[in-house]
Amino acid sequence: MAIVLVTGTSSGIGLATATVLARAGHTVYATMRNPQKSPKLIELAEKEHLPITVLTMDVNNSDSIKEAVAILMNIEGHIDALVNNAGIGAMGSVEETPIELYREVMETNYLGAIRCIQAVLPYLRQKRAGTIINITSVAGKLWGQSHSPYCASKAALEALSESLAQEVAQFNIRVAVVEPGVIDTAIFSKETEIPAHTHYHYYRRLQALFAASLENHVPPEVVGNVVKDILEGRSTSFRNPAGPDAEGLIQWRASLKDEEWVQSHNMDDETWLAHAKEAFGVDMRKYLESDIKFTAPA
């Protein structure tokens, strides 16, 4: 069984991953910024007597990360795996999105992962064994309108992961990427509000796609199980789509030339609705024509 550090475990994919791994017998150090405000995992661990230790850690603060890793090392003496999950979502056109939001998303989704990798990697390298699993997204491959802050951060993490995998292979350290599709988590209810008077109206199509996909109610445990399969060696792939729509979305983008992909976002609504129905088998008209409000899952 492995000693695993998981980031961003207050809710959603992080909480589910920590739970799935602990139920499988792995020792999990689950980190989050404010455990007092997010007691769900602590309560679950106590109720089920799971091997989970919750630590305070902010991936945007190097000292906070070093302190959490030091606590783990003092207790366990070694670490086997890091799961970089902590992340935030954001929507908006390039022109109308404040540079501060781009910086905030990159700080957490990209630089936060690097900080954690740099804190843990020396221990894995000395041990000459270990696994680093980075949770990216299908958005790391599908770069769409009104989604550039999030897409850019996940694309950057994908690129980093490939570089890292090549660097650490000599030390018998494995790097893997998990690419969730649309998973039923609170991230959609926290997405940035688009300005009411935006010049870029196609963002509603992205919201319609999310809303239609969320009807499937794919639980975050689906992602946790993919992480478990990687950690336990059942999956040896570098990239691991997670969720029923993930692989199809990635293959759809890969099947299009770059120019076709760009133009697919510049068609009129009726053409787009027909195209979306053919591609996804879902009629999105009701979402495109309604005021969409995302709510966090219970």
SS3 per residue for the chain: CCEEEECCCCCHHHHHHHHHHHHCCCEEEEEECCHHHCCHHHHHHHHHCCCEEEEECCCCCHHHHHHHHHHHHHHHCCCCEEEECCCCCCCECCCCCCHHHHHHHHHHHHHHHHHHHHHHHHHHHHHCCEEEEEECCHHHCCCCCCEHHHHHHHHHHHHHHHHHHHHHHHHCEEEEEEEECCCCCHHHCCCCCCCCCCCCCCHHHHHHHHHHHHCCCCCCHHHHHHHHHHHCCCCCCCEEEECCCHHHHHHHHHCCCHHHHHHHCCCCHHHHHHHHHHHHCCCCHHHHCCCCCCCCCC
Residue 184 identity: D
CA 10 from chain center: how many Å? 14
CB-based contact 146:101 (threshold 8 Å): no
Q: Cα separation of 175 and 42, whole Å?
A: 28
Which is catalytic among the residues 110, 150, 203, 287? 150
Nearest to 189 by CA among 285, 89, 77: 89
- Give the CA radius of gyration of the chain: 19
Q: Known catalytic residue: 150?
A: yes
Amino acid at 24: A
- Catalytic residue annotation: 150
